[in-house]
């Protein structure tokens, strides 16, 4: 079985869009390919004519500060995301999540773009990005150019490709369902706000050592601390629904409050009321997830809280 015929390696977005416009279809973009190639090999995805490898697209492999935002290219390997000083400083939760994705060999090629494009509601990278107030940059082929026979030059085509920024959560329609049309649209990268000294984040998860390779539960918390008050907070838990779940009720409870056992308990109540925990065969029962989320949420929240506190102390010292 030939899983792919042509393998294209565009060097820039313009070449990528050109490939999208003209290469034989069916066509798919491939980044690390650590999920996609297995899907092809194991018959979960039908064979394609063309794979467009995006890992040589310069724009997509950058990790840098742009104005007041941190840009992480969608094709940056997760290992680099995990270890880069910029992410370590500005996106602790994301580095923690990336450190937990598979093993080192896979992390050296797997990408955040791929992690997100699969649209799993509990992917580690996704849950971390969800609390980091991320915007995704997406480039799309204009519909009329898909079967371009006008003989327009590459430059004309690249000009006609449209780039837009969308809120991170808008990338998800349902379990395994991305809002993007793969082969016509492409995630270029992610923009994250920079973290101030009194802000911090944390990611943790609970696994099961047997069976399928997915976490039972993961959790990310970002918060801003003002002395003993939670000034602002974002909480994500996966899988807490068909799309990546933000515990907004718990956030509302904690925002502006001090962090005590009783505020934590009411936040937890809010989280449990809002989250839709399901029973997944051979992974976890819904009641088990409800039971253990208190500890996981507590530990994650506590870590973020202490981190933000330590940073505040550091700031004062300076």
Partner 1 sequence: MTNKISLVVNSIQHSLEAKPNETLSDLLRDRLRLTGTKIGCDEAECGACTVLVDGEPVLACIYPAERADGKTVVTIEGLGEEFTAKHAKNAKENKKNLSDLSGLGGSIALHPLQQAFVEHGAVQCGFCIPGQIMTAYALLERNPNPTRDEVRFALKDTLCRCAGYPTIENSILAAAESLRTGEPVRKPNVPDSIHVHNSVGHTHLRPDGIEKVNGKAIYTDDLVFDNMLFAKVKRAMIPHGFLKRLDISKAKELKGVLAVLTANDIPAERNHGLIIYDWPVMVGVGERVRYVGDAIALVAAETLEIAIQASALIEAEFDLQPVITNPVMARQEGVPQIHEKGNLLKHIKVRKGDMEKGFAESDVILEHTFHTPTYDHAFIEPECSIAVPEVTVTSEVTVTSKMNIYCSTQIPYQDRTQVARVMGWDESRVRVVGQLMGGGFGGKEDVMGQIHAAMLADVTKRPVKLLFDRHESLLVHPKRHATQIRIKIGAKKDGRIMASESELYGDTGAYASLGEKVMTRATTHSAGPYDVPNVRADCYAMYTNNPPAGAFRGFGVTQSAFAVESMIDMLAEKLNIEPVELRRINALHVGSITNTGQELRESVGLMECIDRVSSAMCQVSGLSEGELFKPRVIYETDSYREGAKDTKTLVEEGEKESSRSSRLSGEKDSHLVRAWGFAAAYKNTGLGGGAPDISNAEVELYDNGTFEVRSSSAEMGQGLVTVMRLTVAEEMSVPPEQVKVLVMDTDLTPNGGPTTASRQTFVTGNASRYAAKTLRDAITATLAEKYDVKPEQIRFENGIVHANGHSMTYAEVAKEMKALGQHPRALYEYEAPKTQPLGTGGDMHFAFSFGVQAAEVEVNKLTGEVRVLKVISANDVGMAVNPLGLQGQVEGGVMMGLGNAITEEFLMDNGYVVSDRLARYRIPGIMLTPEITSIIVEHPTAAGPYGAKGVGEICSIPTTPAITNAIYNAVGVRVDKLPVDQESIAREIWEREEK
Positions that interact with partner 1 (CB under 8 A): 1-7, 9, 30, 33-34, 37-38, 41-42, 51, 53, 55, 79, 96, 99-100, 102-106, 108-109, 204-213, 259, 261, 264, 282, 284-285, 287-288, 291-292, 294-296, 298-299, 301-303
| Least Å from the CB of residue 24 to partner 1 | 9
Closest approach of Cβ 169 to partner 1, in Å? Answer: 25
Smallest separation (angstroms) from partner 1 to the CB of 159: 25
Report CA-CA distances (Å) from 12 to 52, 59, 70, 204. Answer: 12, 7, 20, 35
Shortest distance in whole angstroms from residue 213 CB to partner 1: 5
User: Closer to partner 1 at the Cβ: 41 or 147?
Assistant: 41
Report the DSSP beta bridge partners of residue 66: 69
Between 8 and 136, name the residue whose CB sits nearer to partner 1: 8
Determine the number of helices (DSSP H) and then strands (DSSP E) in the chain.
12, 14
Task: Please give the Cα distance from 138 to 260 (Å, whole number).
Answer: 41
The helix/strand/coil state of 111 is: strand
Q: Which is nearer to partner 1, 75 or 236 (CB)?
A: 75
Q: What is the largest CA-CA distance in the chain?
A: 67
- Nearer Cβ to partner 1, position 169 or 290? 290
Measured CA to CA, the distance from residue 101 to residue 10 in angstroms comes to 27
Q: How far is the CB of 186 from partner 1 (least distance, A)?
A: 17
Give the integer Cα–Cα distance in Å for 254 and 300: 14
Identify which of residues 136 and 308 has a Cβ nearer to partner 1 in the complex.
308
Residue with the two structure tokens 């840098």: 64
């Amino acid at each position: 079985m030939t899983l792919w015929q042509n393998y294209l390696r565009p060097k820039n977005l313009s070449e990528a869009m050109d490939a999208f416009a003209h290469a034989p279809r069916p066509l798919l973009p491939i980044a690390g390919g650590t999920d996609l190639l297995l899907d092809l090999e194991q018959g979960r995805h039908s064979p394609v004519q063309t794979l467009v490898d995006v890992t040589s697209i310069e724009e997509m492999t950058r990790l840098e500060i742009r104005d007041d935002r941190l840009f992480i290219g969608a094709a940056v390997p997760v290992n680099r995301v995990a270890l880069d000083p910029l992410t370590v400083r500005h996106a602790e939760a994301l580095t923690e999540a990336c450190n937990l994705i598979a093993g080192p060999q896979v992390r050296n090629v797997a990408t955040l773009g791929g992690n997100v494009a699969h649209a799993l509601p509990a992917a580690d990278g996704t849950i971390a990005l969800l609390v980091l107030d991320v915007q995704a940059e997406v480039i799309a082929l204009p519909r009329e150019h898909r079967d371009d026979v006008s003989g327009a030059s590459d430059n004309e085509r690249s000009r006609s490709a449209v780039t837009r920024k969308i809120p991170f959560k808008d990338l998800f329609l349902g379990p395994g369902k991305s809002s993007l049309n793969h082969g016509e649209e492409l995630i270029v990268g992610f923009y994250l706000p920079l973290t101030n000294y009194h802000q911090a984040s944390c990611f943790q998860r609970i696994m099961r050592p047997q069976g399928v390779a997915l976490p039972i539960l993961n959790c990310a918390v970002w918060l801003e601390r003002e002395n003993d008050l939670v000034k602002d907070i974002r909480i994500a838990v996966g899988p807490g629904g068909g799309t990546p779940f933000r515990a907004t009720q718990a956030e509302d409870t904690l925002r502006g409050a001090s962090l005590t056992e009783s505020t934590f308990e009411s936040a937890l109540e809010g989280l449990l009321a809002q989250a839709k925990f399901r029973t997944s065969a051979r992974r976890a029962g819904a009641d088990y997830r409800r039971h253990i989320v208190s500890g996981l949420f507590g530990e994650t929240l506590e870590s973020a809280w202490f981190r933000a506190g330590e940073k505040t102390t550091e700031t004062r010292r300076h």
